[in-house]
Amino acid sequence: MNDPSSVPPPVTPVWTPPPPYAYGYPYQLPPPRKTNGLAIASLIVSIVGVVGMCGWGPLSVFVSPVGAILGHVAQRQIKTSGDQGYGMALAGIIVGWIGFVLALAYLALFIWLFTQGDSLFPPDTGYQDDF
C-alpha cells in the first residue's frame, strides 16, 4: 500500500479563482471639458438684448447682434479647441438674430408712428381751455 506507483496523482481543480486585485490607484474619470466663455457671453448678451426691448426699445438693435456675433466666434473656437458650449453658442446666435429682427421691426414702427402721428391722431381743434 505504500507503493509510490499506487498513489493517485493530485487532483487539480477545474476552476481556480482569479488573483486578488493589486493595490493601486482606482480608476478616475478624465477631467471635464471646460465651457467656452464666449458661448456663455453670447447667450447672456442675446437674452439681455431681447429682454431689453421692453425698457430700451430701439436701442436693443445694437445689443442683440453683439450676442449673435459672439456666438459665431464661440462656435469657431469650440470647433478648434474642443470645448463644450456649442449648444449655448447656437442658442445665442438664434436669440440674437431674432432679437435684432424684432428690434428693427420695433424701430421701424416707432419711426413710422413718429412721422405719421398727425395723420393717425389728428389734433382736436374744438378744445378750449377755460382756466
**103 pLDDT more than 80:** yes
pLDDT tens digits, one per residue of 30-41: 888 899 999 999
**CB contact at 8 A, 65 and 96:** yes
**20 pLDDT more than 90:** no
Measuring CA to CA, how many Å separate 72 from each of 26, 40, 85, 106?
A: 41, 12, 12, 25
**1 pLDDT more than 60:** no
The owner of cell 447672456 is 44
User: What pLDDT, on the 0 to 100 scale, is given for residue 84?
Assistant: 95
What cell was used for 39?
458661448
pTM of the model: 0.68
Please report, rounded to a whole number, the percentage of residues in the chain having pLDDT higher than 70: 84
